[in-house]
Amino acid sequence: MKTCLLVIDVQASFTRRPYFDTAALPAFLEAQNALVAGAQAQGWPIARVFHRSEVDDAADPFAPASGLVRPLEGLRPFDAALTVHKTRHSALVGTGLDVWLVSQGVRRLVISGIRTEQCCETTARHASDLGWDVHFVPEATLTFRMPLEGGGQLTVPQLRERTAAVLHRRFAQVMPVAQALASA
Protein backbone atom coordinates (compact mmCIF):
# COMPACT_ATOMS: atom_id res chain seq x y z
CA MET A 1 0.00 0.00 0.00
CA LYS A 2 1.50 3.34 -1.07
CA THR A 3 2.14 5.64 1.88
CA CYS A 4 2.54 9.42 2.05
CA LEU A 5 3.83 11.41 5.01
CA LEU A 6 1.94 14.64 5.70
CA VAL A 7 3.96 17.34 7.46
CA ILE A 8 1.25 19.74 8.54
CA ASP A 9 1.91 23.37 9.53
CA VAL A 10 5.49 22.88 10.76
CA GLN A 11 6.14 26.53 10.09
CA ALA A 12 7.81 29.56 11.61
CA SER A 13 4.46 31.36 11.97
CA PHE A 14 3.82 29.69 15.34
CA THR A 15 6.90 31.27 16.91
CA ARG A 16 5.08 34.62 16.83
CA ARG A 17 1.98 33.40 18.65
CA PRO A 18 1.69 34.37 22.35
CA TYR A 19 1.04 30.72 23.33
CA PHE A 20 4.17 29.41 21.61
CA ASP A 21 6.17 27.41 24.15
CA THR A 22 9.51 25.79 23.41
CA ALA A 23 9.35 23.21 26.22
CA ALA A 24 8.14 20.36 23.99
CA LEU A 25 9.87 21.64 20.84
CA PRO A 26 13.12 19.60 21.03
CA ALA A 27 11.31 16.26 21.50
CA PHE A 28 8.85 17.14 18.74
CA LEU A 29 11.61 18.08 16.29
CA GLU A 30 13.53 14.89 17.10
CA ALA A 31 10.43 12.76 16.39
CA GLN A 32 9.36 14.78 13.34
CA ASN A 33 12.85 14.66 11.86
CA ALA A 34 13.11 10.90 12.48
CA LEU A 35 9.79 10.44 10.68
CA VAL A 36 10.95 12.59 7.74
CA ALA A 37 14.28 10.72 7.54
CA GLY A 38 12.50 7.37 7.66
CA ALA A 39 10.02 8.43 4.98
CA GLN A 40 12.88 9.60 2.77
CA ALA A 41 14.76 6.32 3.30
CA GLN A 42 11.68 4.33 2.31
CA GLY A 43 10.95 6.50 -0.71
CA TRP A 44 7.59 7.74 0.53
CA PRO A 45 6.35 10.97 -0.97
CA ILE A 46 6.20 13.76 1.62
CA ALA A 47 3.52 16.42 1.32
CA ARG A 48 4.22 19.73 3.03
CA VAL A 49 1.20 21.68 4.24
CA PHE A 50 1.41 25.31 5.29
CA HIS A 51 -1.39 27.22 6.98
CA ARG A 52 -1.88 30.71 5.63
CA SER A 53 -4.29 33.50 6.33
CA GLU A 54 -6.80 34.51 3.71
CA VAL A 55 -5.82 38.19 4.07
CA ASP A 56 -2.19 39.03 3.28
CA ASP A 57 -1.40 41.36 6.20
CA ALA A 58 2.31 41.46 7.13
CA ALA A 59 1.36 41.81 10.82
CA ASP A 60 -0.27 38.35 10.73
CA PRO A 61 2.38 35.61 11.13
CA PHE A 62 0.27 33.26 8.98
CA ALA A 63 0.11 35.74 6.07
CA PRO A 64 2.62 35.25 3.24
CA ALA A 65 3.66 38.92 3.58
CA SER A 66 4.99 38.17 7.09
CA GLY A 67 7.77 35.98 5.68
CA LEU A 68 6.97 33.35 8.32
CA VAL A 69 5.03 30.90 6.16
CA ARG A 70 8.15 28.79 5.79
CA PRO A 71 9.57 25.69 7.50
CA LEU A 72 10.15 25.93 11.24
CA GLU A 73 13.82 26.25 12.14
CA GLY A 74 15.15 22.84 13.17
CA LEU A 75 12.95 20.87 10.79
CA ARG A 76 15.02 18.48 8.67
CA PRO A 77 15.14 19.75 5.07
CA PHE A 78 13.29 17.63 2.54
CA ASP A 79 12.09 17.88 -1.02
CA ALA A 80 8.34 17.90 -0.84
CA ALA A 81 6.56 15.88 -3.51
CA LEU A 82 3.79 18.46 -3.10
CA THR A 83 3.42 21.70 -1.14
CA VAL A 84 -0.03 23.10 -0.45
CA HIS A 85 -1.34 26.09 1.46
CA LYS A 86 -4.52 25.70 3.47
CA THR A 87 -6.84 28.23 5.06
CA ARG A 88 -8.93 25.72 7.02
CA HIS A 89 -8.10 23.15 9.71
CA SER A 90 -8.13 20.10 7.43
CA ALA A 91 -5.31 19.85 4.93
CA LEU A 92 -7.84 18.22 2.60
CA VAL A 93 -10.14 21.24 2.25
CA GLY A 94 -9.54 23.48 -0.75
CA THR A 95 -5.91 22.52 -1.29
CA GLY A 96 -6.08 19.87 -4.01
CA LEU A 97 -4.12 17.52 -1.74
CA ASP A 98 -6.89 14.91 -1.92
CA VAL A 99 -6.86 14.93 -5.72
CA TRP A 100 -3.07 14.64 -5.80
CA LEU A 101 -3.07 11.75 -3.30
CA VAL A 102 -5.60 9.83 -5.40
CA SER A 103 -3.65 10.54 -8.60
CA GLN A 104 -0.50 9.18 -6.94
CA GLY A 105 -2.22 6.00 -5.78
CA VAL A 106 -1.67 6.82 -2.09
CA ARG A 107 -3.87 4.73 0.22
CA ARG A 108 -2.14 5.30 3.58
CA LEU A 109 -1.40 8.65 5.24
CA VAL A 110 1.01 9.19 8.11
CA ILE A 111 -0.02 12.35 9.97
CA SER A 112 2.46 14.64 11.73
CA GLY A 113 2.83 18.35 12.43
CA ILE A 114 1.47 21.27 14.45
CA ARG A 115 -1.19 21.46 16.31
CA THR A 116 -2.01 17.99 17.57
CA GLU A 117 -5.67 18.57 18.45
CA GLN A 118 -6.48 21.00 15.69
CA CYS A 119 -5.08 20.69 12.18
CA CYS A 120 -3.47 17.26 12.66
CA GLU A 121 -6.52 15.69 14.29
CA THR A 122 -8.96 17.35 11.88
CA THR A 123 -6.98 16.13 8.88
CA ALA A 124 -6.83 12.61 10.33
CA ARG A 125 -10.60 12.50 10.86
CA HIS A 126 -11.29 13.94 7.41
CA ALA A 127 -8.87 11.51 5.71
CA SER A 128 -10.45 8.57 7.49
CA ASP A 129 -13.93 9.66 6.41
CA LEU A 130 -12.66 9.86 2.82
CA GLY A 131 -11.33 6.29 3.00
CA TRP A 132 -7.61 6.60 3.62
CA ASP A 133 -5.82 4.28 6.04
CA VAL A 134 -4.56 6.81 8.60
CA HIS A 135 -1.57 6.42 10.90
CA PHE A 136 -1.37 9.19 13.52
CA VAL A 137 1.97 9.78 15.26
CA PRO A 138 1.40 11.86 18.43
CA GLU A 139 5.09 12.19 19.28
CA ALA A 140 5.61 13.82 15.85
CA THR A 141 2.93 16.42 16.60
CA LEU A 142 3.29 19.58 18.63
CA THR A 143 0.73 21.58 20.51
CA PHE A 144 0.52 24.14 23.29
CA ARG A 145 -1.39 24.54 26.56
CA MET A 146 -5.01 25.49 26.04
CA PRO A 147 -7.09 27.55 28.47
CA LEU A 148 -10.38 26.09 29.69
CA GLU A 149 -13.52 28.20 29.57
CA GLY A 150 -14.13 27.90 33.33
CA GLY A 151 -10.50 28.51 34.29
CA GLY A 152 -7.43 26.33 34.36
CA GLN A 153 -5.88 24.80 31.29
CA LEU A 154 -5.24 21.59 29.43
CA THR A 155 -1.57 20.65 29.36
CA VAL A 156 0.31 19.41 26.31
CA PRO A 157 0.33 15.79 27.61
CA GLN A 158 -3.41 15.98 28.29
CA LEU A 159 -4.13 17.28 24.79
CA ARG A 160 -1.97 14.58 23.20
CA GLU A 161 -3.57 11.86 25.31
CA ARG A 162 -7.08 13.09 24.51
CA THR A 163 -6.34 13.27 20.78
CA ALA A 164 -4.81 9.79 20.74
CA ALA A 165 -7.80 8.39 22.64
CA VAL A 166 -10.46 9.87 20.34
CA LEU A 167 -8.64 8.91 17.14
CA HIS A 168 -7.38 5.41 17.94
CA ARG A 169 -9.35 2.61 16.31
CA ARG A 170 -12.01 5.08 15.21
CA PHE A 171 -10.28 7.36 12.72
CA ALA A 172 -6.66 6.19 12.82
CA GLN A 173 -4.13 3.78 14.11
CA VAL A 174 -2.18 5.73 16.72
CA MET A 175 1.48 4.77 16.99
CA PRO A 176 5.02 6.00 17.68
CA VAL A 177 7.48 6.94 14.92
CA ALA A 178 9.25 3.57 14.80
CA GLN A 179 5.99 1.67 14.43
CA ALA A 180 4.69 4.05 11.74
CA LEU A 181 7.88 3.53 9.75
CA ALA A 182 7.80 -0.25 10.22
CA SER A 183 4.12 -0.72 9.46
CA ALA A 184 3.90 1.02 6.15
Calpha distance 86→9 (Å, rounded)? 9
> In degrees rounded to 5, what are phi and psi of residue 85?
-120, 125
Query: pLDDT by residue (tens digit) across 92-127?
Result: 999 999 999 999 999 999 999 999 999 999 999 999
In this prediction, residue 40 carries a pLDDT of: 98
Q: Which domains does the chain have, with CATH numbers?
A: 2-183 (3.40.50.850)
Calpha distance 17→139 (Å, rounded)? 21
Bridge partners of residue 83, in order along the sequence: 48
Calpha distance 57→52 (Å, rounded)? 11
Query: pLDDT by residue (tens digit) across 76-89?
Result: 999 999 999 999 99
Q: What is the mean pLDDT of residues 5-26?
A: 97
- Torsion on CA atoms 8, 149, 145, 36, rounded to nearest 10: -20
CA dihedral over 69, 52, 34, 97, signed as positive or negative: negative
In this prediction, residue 125 carries a pLDDT of: 98
Angle at the Cα of 6 from the Cα atoms of 73 and 165, rounded to 5 degrees: 105
In this prediction, residue 183 carries a pLDDT of: 84
Q: Please report, rounded to a whole number, the percentage of residues in the chain having pLDDT higher than 90.
A: 98
Bridge partners of residue 3, in order along the sequence: 108
Answer whether residue 50 shows pLDDT above 80: yes
Answer whether residue 49 shows pLDDT above 90: yes
Please give the mean pLDDT across all residues of the chain.
97
Instruction: Give the SS3 label for residue 88.
Output: coil
In this prediction, residue 1 carries a pLDDT of: 86
In this prediction, residue 71 carries a pLDDT of: 98
* 161 contacts: CB under 8 Å, gap ≥ 6: none
